[in-house]
Amino acid sequence: MRSFARKLDDLAQAMRIFELARTIYAPAHFAPLVPYYDVVAGPAPGELAIRPDCNRWPVGALDLRVHDDHFFAQFLHELWQSDQYGWVHDTKFAGMNMRWIPPAKLVPAEFGNYRITNPEECAAAANAQAEQDYAMLLALSGYPQLLRLAALFRDEATEPATSQTVAPGAPALYRHPLPSSTVTVKSRPVFLTGQVISATARREPQQCMATIAIATQPLKRALPAQYRVMLRTLRSPEADTWVETPYSDYQRADYEPDPANPDGFLRLALTNDEPMALDAHRLVPEKPDEWQISPRERPVHREGVAELVADTFDWWIPIAAPLSIDSPTGIELTELHAYGKLAKLMTVDLHPPGSGGASAPPTGGGGASTPPASDSGPGAIDPAGLFEPHGYIPEFSWMTFPQDWDGQHREMVRKTVRVEYILDWDGARLDFSVKGDPADRSYVVYAVVEEGLTGSGQVLHTAVKLPINGLLTYVP
């Protein structure tokens, strides 16, 4: 790759030096007298100008390998014919204008001829036009394509900062609310006054699960990529408040000059900030000195429980007015569904049409109502007996609402958490799921695929954040 890049660089420079050219004029080129037959009356009274068919100053750019006499012969012949017969003909062919007219200011001189009084301005105008033509010639000659190819080979000769064989999808996050309880929460001391504000809040544990599909290197490759699959937790950068630590703060990827190839090549430099890591659990392979390629013969299955040290926290989620923490349950769940997307609610009308009865308002709801869930409504059947008459209860399923609340992370505690995991790796597809324990509160665990780079021996990480939001507190 490096050899190809160098050869392409040399070829591109050779095009600039030996093949592609442009005209360069100096003021001296406009110093000789202009014959009287090349001067005509200008557009303004008393003004003089160069004849439009004057060919003293051809201006432009050309390819010395292609644009020779044979290339221009037919064009020049047609241009001469147009002069003889009075035809209109373009004066520019390829990148050369054979009849470029300078912005000359003329005054009478010896023997009826004329002198150009602004040769510097004419030379500057000619060179500016030639530079534009040269830029167009560069764009059409293949020179930019050579530079792009050279850059591509340089890039391919350098190890990537992002894996080219590992492609994780977006994780799917699920949660199932558990019975809540009323608690008293306290604020931090108010600035300057030191006052601590307390309030009644509702704390709701959650059963949380996250799943992700990761694509690894396809099978039957000449150089199989080697992997390790890990679970890893990172520490919060602050001691008393949980602050998310991006995985890029743990492994930093930079490029630095390559001393072995000093002619403009770079090399990948990976740095792991080990103090940022709290704990890790190896999933595949089980031995620390082994690696795993994409399974060819039989799938890889791992299932178990990982115990990891993690910085846990409590989500404090504000509840907007008019909702009160003391609202009746029917109203509370309905309003939470509307405001905070905190529960998926279902209702059943036990008075089907024709029964002679009418649906009563929800208990404690003051006549409030919610839209019936899918596959429910008037006349719906409740064979399992899961619903109370006219009541509102959470749906018995895992909810997939985005877990992006506008809240705060409070009461950070470093503790050991239990993470249930299931890993299935078949060919180039790795399916992975984790499930948290509600007693472990909220934390973040990373699913990490470590890839061994054969060139430098470094280990490149591809990490996916899997938030386990096991404890939510709704505060007024």
The tens digit of pLDDT for each residue in 12-66 reads 999 999 999 999 999 999 999 999 999 998 888 888 999 999 999 999 999 999 9
Q: How confident is the model at residue 345 (pLDDT cuts 50, 70, 90)?
A: very low
Tell which of 157, 187, 216 closes a domain: 157
Residues 41, 141 share a domain: yes
Number of domains in the chain: 2
CB 64 within 8 A of CB 19: yes
Residues 150, 260 share a domain: no
pLDDT for residue 150: 93
Q: Which helix (H) or strand (E) holds 317?
A: strand 300-318
Question: What percentage of residues in the chain have a pLDDT greater than 70?
Answer: 82
Q: How confident is the model at residue 320 (pLDDT cuts 50, 70, 90)?
A: low
Question: Residue 11 corresponds to which tokens in the numbers above?
Answer: 């070829």
Residues 172, 296 share a domain: yes
Spatial separation of the C-alpha atoms in residues 150 and 137, rounded to whole Å: 20
CB 370 within 8 A of CB 334: yes
CB 228 within 8 A of CB 216: no
Residue 340: inside a domain, yes or no? no
Q: Give the residues across from 475 on adjacent strands.
A: 318
Spatial separation of the C-alpha atoms in residues 213 and 164, rounded to whole Å: 16
Q: How confident is the model at residue 325 (pLDDT cuts 50, 70, 90)?
A: low
For range 242-269, the mean pLDDT: 92
Q: How confident is the model at residue 241 (pLDDT cuts 50, 70, 90)?
A: confident
Calculate the average pLDDT of the chain.
83
Question: Does residue 318 register a pLDDT over 50?
Answer: yes
Spatial separation of the C-alpha atoms in residues 461 and 449, rounded to whole Å: 6
Can you tell me which residue has the tokens 């939001």? Answer: 469
Residues 176, 96 share a domain: no
Q: Give the closest residue to 467 by CA, choosing from 411, 417, 413.
A: 417
pLDDT for residue 402: 64
Residues 199, 75 share a domain: no
Q: Which residue has the higher pLDDT, 389 or 224?
A: 224
pLDDT tens-digit profile of 217-228?
Answer: 999 898 999 999
Question: Does residue 368 register a pLDDT over 60?
Answer: no
Q: How confident is the model at residue 191 (pLDDT cuts 50, 70, 90)?
A: confident
Tell which of 94, 129, 157 closes a domain: 157
Tell which of 108, 137, 157 closes a domain: 157
Residue 350: inside a domain, yes or no? no
Q: How confident is the model at residue 186 (pLDDT cuts 50, 70, 90)?
A: confident
Q: Which domain holds residue 176?
A: 167-318+401-475
Residues 218, 115 share a domain: no
pLDDT for residue 133: 96
Residues 265, 134 share a domain: no
